[in-house]
Amino acid sequence: MISADEQISAFKHFLNYQNYNMYKKLTLAFLSMIIYSLTFSQINYGLKAGVTESYLQDRIGGVSQNYDLRTGFQIGAFADIPIRKNFNLRSSLQLTQKGFKKVEGTPGTAFYWNRNFSTSYLELPLDAVYNFHFNNGTVLQIGSGPVFGIGLFGKNKTIITISDSAQQTHTEYWVGNNAFDKRFDFGWDFLIGFKCHRISINATYNYGLFNLLNDGDHTAKNRSFALTLGYLLRNTRK
């Protein structure tokens, strides 16, 4: 049987343990707030928009399929987080339109095939960027890093014209909204750009590494180029 004094002592020990845990959590939270505040005071951030040119690297049984580039758009917000002198982490949250086009034959003839495949991804690239500073305030930026994406919506539009045995042509239209076998995408980003005060121009190439299909020896991976114009809403480094 535990005595009353032992119960009180155990309860005090429990309170001290709880207070210690609470103190540790509050201390960690406070230190995190300080670190965040010190870091955030140096962060530059802004908005960007531009155009994309994309296609799929499509292989069936190891044989590559040829597709044409499809023009799309990219919009988003970005942040430059300083790591050390001339070196920063560029993170973006962006909506990127991808896909491809494929046309065979000629409209009005016995065979015509037109496929327009478009997808839109919410992407998070994390580029390590090195900055080369020039005397006139212009900065050359070169970087690379991983990019994560999640497919939001897409459309697969196909027009097919064929000729039957009686030499009569028939045209079929097919539109599908289920454009994803796998919504998650992962790739590697390559960046080069120029910044002058608050204005920046960036060119990026996204090399997809993740197979987007669940179809045996049929693989498809995203490839896309983007050219964007950015404006820094906050610029601590003039």
Range of the domain at 110: 44-234
Euclidean distance between CA atoms 91 and 127, whole angstroms: 6
User: How many folded domains does the chain comprise?
Assistant: 2
Q: Are residues 36 and 72 in the same domain?
A: no
The whole-number pLDDT of residue 124 equals: 93
The whole-number pLDDT of residue 31 equals: 59
pLDDT tens per residue, range 31-88:
565 555 455 567 888 999 999 999 988 887 777 777 889 999 999 999 998 888 899 9
Q: Are residues 67 and 133 in the same domain?
A: yes
Q: Are residues 16 and 48 in the same domain?
A: no
Q: Are residues 14 and 59 in the same domain?
A: no
Euclidean distance between CA atoms 76 and 46, whole angstroms: 9
> What element of type H or E holds 154?
strand 138-163
Q: Are residues 190 and 73 in the same domain?
A: yes
The whole-number pLDDT of residue 52 equals: 96
Between residues 233 and 237, which one has the greater pLDDT? 233
pLDDT tens per residue, range 132-183:
998 777 999 999 999 999 988 888 777 777 665 555 555 555 565 666 778 8
Decide: pTM greater than 0.75.
no
Strands 138-163 and 112-133: antiparallel
Q: Are residues 27 and 141 in the same domain?
A: no
pLDDT tens per residue, range 112-124:
777 788 889 999 9
The whole-number pLDDT of residue 159 equals: 75
Q: Are residues 25 and 111 in the same domain?
A: no
Taking 3-state DSSP, the helix, strand and coil percentages for the chain, each rounded to the nearest 5, stand at 15, 65, 20
